[in-house]
Amino acid sequence: MEPFKQHKGIVVPLDRVNVDTDQIIPKQYLKLVERTGFGQYLFYDWRYSADDKPNAEFVLNYPRYSGGTVLLTGANFGCGSSREHAAWALLEYGFKVLIGSSYADIFYNNCFKNGILTVTLDEGFVRQLFKDVAEQEGYMVLADLETQTIQKPDGTSIHFDIDPFRKKCLLEGLDDISLTLQHEDKIRSHEKILQPFQLIDVKRL
């Protein structure tokens, strides 16, 4: 997992509440056996019509949001099933930061485990951001994890809270495997203690 310190990008406004993981990555695209390849199917049922042509009315297909890497969301984003594929699809599509007022717990945790900074702000701040983004084409924010701020184009900033452990993992690029490997010496020592017992022929017991 790549370390995350700060990211500046165009904000894409997805002004819908209760967006579930089956909309983020539809179930028919969960057949891949690796973590890659899901980005092309992000919001597929909304991005494309029944004949697989781009839906011009869906926000990700608006030219003004092309290349956007910060997703502004409605409340309770990521509800529904616990599929980690939702975080994989968002990340591979290009989203580095999510901003919203609330998220489903499992989805929220999956985002952090995959290196996506998931920012929770007061609903009033979120509504104002939706308004600002609509009024200014190419609206960009700087998400600074070290200072825990979202910096707006006018120079003002909004503070956000984050769990210290999650913050440390993002700053250092530590996923579950990396965290486990920090204790590699202790793991190897324990394996040496257990090794004599592994040689016992259990059939003779």
What are the tens digits of pLDDT across the range 140-168? 999 999 999 999 999 999 999 999 999 99
The conformation of residue 86, written as its DSSP 8-state character, comes to: H
Please compute Rg for the chain using Cα positions: 21
Distance CA(111)–CA(96), nearest Å, equals 10
Q: Give the number of other CB atoms < 10 A from CB of residue 151.
A: 17
pLDDT of residue 34: 81
With beta carbons less than 8 A apart as the criterion, state whether 158 and 127 touch. Answer: no
More confident residue, 198 or 98: 98
Predicted pLDDT at 191? 56
Q: How far apart are CA 147 and CA 163, in angstroms?
A: 13
Whether 163 contacts 109, CB under 8 Å: no
Q: Which domains does the chain have, with CATH numbers?
A: 6-173 (3.20.19.10)
117 touches 98 (CB < 8 A): yes
Q: What is the pTM of this model?
A: 0.86
Quick: pLDDT tens for 56-93: 999 999 999 999 999 999 999 999 999 999 999 999 99
